[in-house]
A and B are shown apart, each in its own frame.
Chain A
Amino acid sequence: MKVELKIWRYDTSTGERALRPYEVDVTEEATLLDTLDAVRDRLDGSLAYRKSCRMMICGSCGMRVDGGAVLACKTRIADVVADGHVPVVSAMGNLPIVKDLVVDMDPFWQKMRAVQPYLEPRLDRATEKENVVAQEQMDMIHKESLCINCGCCVSECNSMESDPDFLGPAALAKGFRFVGDARDGATIDRLERYSEEHGIWDCTRCYFCNERCPKGVDPRDAIAKLGAEAMKAGIDRDMGARHAKWFVTSAKTTGWLRETELVPKTQGVVKAIKEIKFAMSLLPKGKIPLPFPPHVAADIGESRALFDLVTDQGRSGAAGIVQGEKALMHLAHHGESVDGPSHPYDDPRSFPKPYLPDEEPAT
């Protein structure tokens, strides 16, 4: 099968960047990784990319195809080039490029390190015998344990693009892997740390991480689990946590979001007063609905009673999210391919990153 593709090359020695076209013959079953091997072996021995296992387990071969991060060894090239499409292959985003398709994973590992990705055993429970953990307890962290540290989730993370210090989806998913581990003794400490600036509450819920992760980790869901655990533990000083809490209060009291009080409840009264000029500019447009009389949903008593009922049933915190995962497991990512407008990622502005090693990450 003849395959055409374009690859963004970056030459470290000259600093030169170029989009180069290639054409190779590969088998029908070939993956993108096989295709790159063919390019390197037959056309250009200087092409740089990472690989090791070739079977979706080492996490080395993350790269972008048409702007979306994939594992090269998991991607069938025949699917990509269907209907004569000529894909653009480039390095992952949100990480500095070393050469061609190879990114510097250092910032990724630094963030991993920051969440302390190892068990801090509960010495208070040390026993003579081995510590047996029930299956349901391990189910709590089943998905997060599947992570292979490939970085695909980080590549298009919208919050990290705007705040390069954001811990990001992979590190936070790893964080939940330990917060949810019954054997870990540093839970509160972890939740405190992950709740700081650049942590849990930085996530803008763009869901790119869930979309990209080749292993079904669903990092955004892991972040929600961390938020749920933090709030369960009473760690809710952050504005993001207070914002979330106000929704619960609203649902219990009036049923609908009490929008106008959301700002002072999230930001605190002092900061909210600083925002008054902005708020006043929205007032005449009805964008700041008056809180009185409150807009109360019919049968609001049911909503309050439900809250009281379920809080007694012991599924608060992350368990409330984990309980729904079994049902979602069978869903495969999909979305019909269409002959739509040009691909958004063909445009270099789509994601300002990947940035080059000598460039400062844009903020």
Chain B
Amino acid sequence: MKQVAYYKGCLASLSAKELDISTQALAPKVGYELIELESVTCCGAGDIHEAEPDYYLHLNARILSYAAATGADTLMTVCNVCTLNLRQANHQLLNDAALRERVNDNLEQVGVPRYEQDVDCVHFLWLVAGESFGKLQEVAHKGLRGLRIAPFYGCQILRPSKLMGFDDPDKPDSLERIIAACGGEAIDYPAKIKCCGFPIIQAREETALAELIQPIEQAKEAGADAMVTPCPLCHLSLDAWQSKLKKQTGKDFQMPIFHLSQLIGVAAGLEDAELRFKRHVVSMQPVLEKLAL
């Protein structure tokens, strides 16, 4: 069992608790002991990076410092946006000694340990599709019975690739490999690497919905039983904003949306209480019935 520091971020702590619960249940099965970080805050979700960039850097340095304090060399995230924000700050600190020194002095002044021991920040997807892929194939014994799953990556786990770099940003395949390993069939459709519209869903709803409809509609047309995403923000817009699409376009997609940890969790035989599908807005029932057959 490998120890990793676990940063769950805002959404998995709040509106997407089912993501946290299923991740905590699944992680040991694929070889990880999660050390949850207590004294951490929001990564800023790109918003603090835009509003108060220097504060963004310090908040993320603080998260990295507490991750390093666990003694683990890996900080695991379950959100695209957290991953980009933390990796960006981490790259800046690791490659600029003067900047790191200044940030560390500031951390120290307010009582936060200096960020000295480097950690690598990675998304859960990368662990499962990478070093634990063999384990995954062992645990996914219950399988997905050929369920047709549309992978949806979202933006910030692919781009900018110079900061992310796990998948080919234009031709990713980690989700497809996981779906196949779990006994599902991955559906291919072009919008899987595009934006779900979440960052502007409140400020520019119309533009955001025009983005959101593309992946859902294409997945539906391709015959997907459900979609899966590694990002709780994508999950929120894909799942909760479907009703808005219906209101705006008259199209009622009823497309069930899995969090990545739930999809693998189903294949690995996690209990209902560990998956919490009842917390979704779009009913997961049709998919679960197919699996029960």
Contacts and interface: CB of A to CB of B under 8 A. Distances in A.
A34 B251 CA distance: 47
Contacts of B59: 251, 303, 306
B254 interface: no
| Number of chain B interface residues as a range | 35 or more
A206 B190 CA distance: 15
Contacts of A42: none
A302 B111 contact: yes
Contacts of A211: 159-161, 169
Contacts of B41: 251, 255-256, 297, 300, 303
B280 A321 contact: no
A218 interface: yes
A231 B50 CA distance: 9
A240 interface: yes
Contacts of A210: 159-160
Contact of A313 (B50, B54, B96): B54
Nearest to A200: B50
A323 B42 contact: no
A345 B279 CA distance: 34
Interface in A309-363: 309-311, 313, 315-321, 323-324, 326-328, 330-338, 340-345, 347, 349-351, 363
A344 B62 contact: no
A289 B38 CA distance: 20
Contact of B53 (A218, A224, A266): A224
A104 interface: no
A152 to B, nearest CB: 14
Given A281-B281, A310-B58, A342-B188, A298 B38 contact: yes
B57 interface: yes
Interface in A185-204: 201-204
Interface in B35-49: 38-42, 44-49
Nearest to A363: B210
A257 B89 CA distance: 19
A318 B211 CA distance: 28
B39 A298 contact: yes
B159 A309 contact: no
Instruction: Give the top 6 A-B pairs by smallest Cβ distance, nearest first.
Output: A320-B53, A350-B190, A340-B173, A162-B210, A207-B159, A320-B54
